[in-house]
Amino acid sequence: MRSKDYYAILGVPRNATQEEIKRAYRRLALKYHPDRNPGDREAEEKFKEISEAYEVLSDPEKRAIYDAQGHAGLHQTGFRGFEDVEDIFSAFSNLFEEFFGFGFRERAGRKPRPGADLSYELSLSLEEIYHGKEAEITLEKYERCEECGGSGLARGAQTRYCPVCKGRGHIVHSEGFFRISTTCPHCQGMGTYISDPCPRCRGEGRVWGRKRLRIRIPPGVEEGSVIRISGEGEAGLYGGPAGDLYIKIRTKPHEYFRREGKNLHLSLIIGVVDAILGAETQVRHLSGETISIRIPRGSQPGDRLLIKGKGLPDPQGGEPGDLIVHLEVKLPSRITREQEDLLRRFAELEKEEGPRVKGKKKKTFWNRLFKE
């Protein structure tokens, strides 16, 4: 095992992020966990293998040593991996609690336990946000076992108190002056047992599956908002209630619009002549209609035009946002001799303006154009 590639063991690339490594380990730990594969020696060894790989790759210091020096470098630090699965449960108890809502080995009776909440990030285009959307998503999660209805019992079977520990989950025996309490070997500390578990879920009351959901996204939904769908998280254990699903909305970049709350922003590049004389142009809106934008005479670089009501809808049903157009005046990089003569003549006419309050002297547009 020492010669194996930890990245290959977890099925991740060498540049994988910590989140990708954690997600890969969760999937494999769920598959090979000893409690899901009782008596399967091969699954237990695989569980040790993936846990050793995760122990190294989830630790930035160990990962750096492994990437630079391989197994030999780790060996020099005293790292030896895991010899016993109980060491894994001890080392990763908090992680298993985060992954599954319980640690598999911490048994406190056969009580229904709630399922974990799930989160999902949904990216939408601005057009989809403008109109609203009925999105379809696919989730891989624990679902209630339909065979037993979540009870974990085969048809006609019942949960019984353990006759060995009398439902306590542990037994006490004496050794000299000492009384020692140990986990009941008959019920593995549950206090109860199922003589005939459901063959489909193996007594858990839930099975791993894939589910498609259709979700209605309201028009104008805000960036970063979270939609909660009750009961669509993971199914609970032993018939416990399901968790909730939280969907976070993300906005995809648009070709030319950008959003700021309910308002839309658009940068419009215009030429010098259009800035001076005014112009009109058309833009295709998110609604699908073509809207006209009138550029006033004498527009300056950085001017903003406000078009009321052409932003995004209000998700609460209030007034829609506005469209804000930002003007960018593009100066010509080259001009013909005839154009230069006309501009110089225009510059002379500009100098014949009447008196003005004198302020800080700065170069005019014509100075910049001719670099005088």
Report pLDDT digits (tens) over 131-190. Answer: 999 999 999 999 999 999 998 889 888 777 677 775 666 676 655 545 566 778 777 677
DSSP 372: -
CA distance 207 to 213: 18
- Asked if 10 and 25 touch (Cβ cutoff 8 Å), the reply is yes
pLDDT at 195: 75
Angle, helices 93-100/18-32, rounded to nearest 10 degrees: 80
For residue 352, give Cα distances in angstroms to 99, 156, 343.
78, 103, 15
CA distance 66 to 56: 8
pLDDT at 90: 55
Is CATH 2.60.260.20 the right assignment for the domain spanning 118-159+194-251?
A: yes
DSSP 161: E
CA distance 148 to 167: 23
- Asked if 191 and 169 touch (Cβ cutoff 8 Å), the reply is yes
pLDDT at 14: 93
pLDDT at 305: 97
Question: Cβ of 109: how many Cβ atoms within 10 Å?
Answer: 13
Distance of CA 144 to the CA centre of its chain: 25
For residue 257, give Cα distances in angstroms to 264, 324, 365.
6, 10, 29
CA distance 25 to 10: 6
Find residue 283's DSSP bridge partners.
291
Homologous superfamily of domain range 6-98: DnaJ domain (1.10.287.110)
Contacts for 339-348: CB closer than 8 Å, 24+ residues apart: 340/370, 343/369, 343/370, 344/370
Binding-site annotation, residues for Zn(2+): 145, 148, 162, 165, 184, 187, 198, 201
Give the amino acid at 112. P
CA distance 295 to 304: 10
- How does strand 323-330 pair with strand 263-271? parallel
Helix (H) or strand (E) holding 370: helix 365-370
CA distance 127 to 123: 12
Query: Per the confidence metrics, is the pTM higher than 0.85?
Result: no
Tokens 């008196």 correspond to what residue?
355
Tokens 């809207």 correspond to what residue?
291
Per-residue pLDDT of the chain (372 residues; tens, 9 = 90+): 446 899 999 999 999 999 999 999 989 988 998 878 888 889 889 999 999 999 899 988 889 989 998 888 887 766 767 766 666 765 665 676 666 554 444 444 566 789 999 999 999 999 999 999 999 999 999 999 999 999 888 988 877 767 777 566 667 665 554 556 677 877 767 777 777 889 999 888 999 999 999 999 999 999 999 999 999 999 998 888 999 999 999 999 999 999 999 999 999 999 999 999 999 999 999 999 999 999 999 999 999 999 999 999 999 889 999 999 999 999 888 999 998 899 888 888 876 554 555 565 555 555 555 554
Give the amino acid at 30. L
303 φ, ψ (degrees, to nearest 5): -60, 150
Q: Measure the N-to-C terminal CA separation of the chain; round to a whole number of Å.
A: 76
Sheet containing 323-330, strands listed edge to edge, beginning at the edge strand earlier in sequence: 257-260, 263-271, 323-330, 304-307
Q: 237 is written with which tokens?
A: 């254990």
Per domain, the residue ranges of the chain are 6-98, 118-159+194-251, 257-334+343-349
CATH topology assigned to domain 257-334+343-349 = HSP40/DNAj peptide-binding domain (2.60.260)
Distance of CA 315 to the CA centre of its chain: 22
Binding-site annotation, residues: 145, 148, 162, 165, 184, 187, 198, 201
Say whether 257-334+343-349 and 6-98 share the same fold. Answer: no
229 φ, ψ (degrees, to nearest 5): -115, 105
Closest among 194, 204, 110, 198 to 158, alpha carbons compared: 194
Angle, helices 41-57/60-76, rounded to nearest 10 degrees: 110
Closest among 108, 47, 98, 92 to 238, alpha carbons compared: 108
What stretches of 115-190 adopt beta strand conformation (E)? 118-124, 133-144, 159-161, 170-175, 178-183
CA angle in degrees (0–180, nearest 5) for 234-239-242 = 25
Residues 6+ apart with CB under 8 A from 163: 186
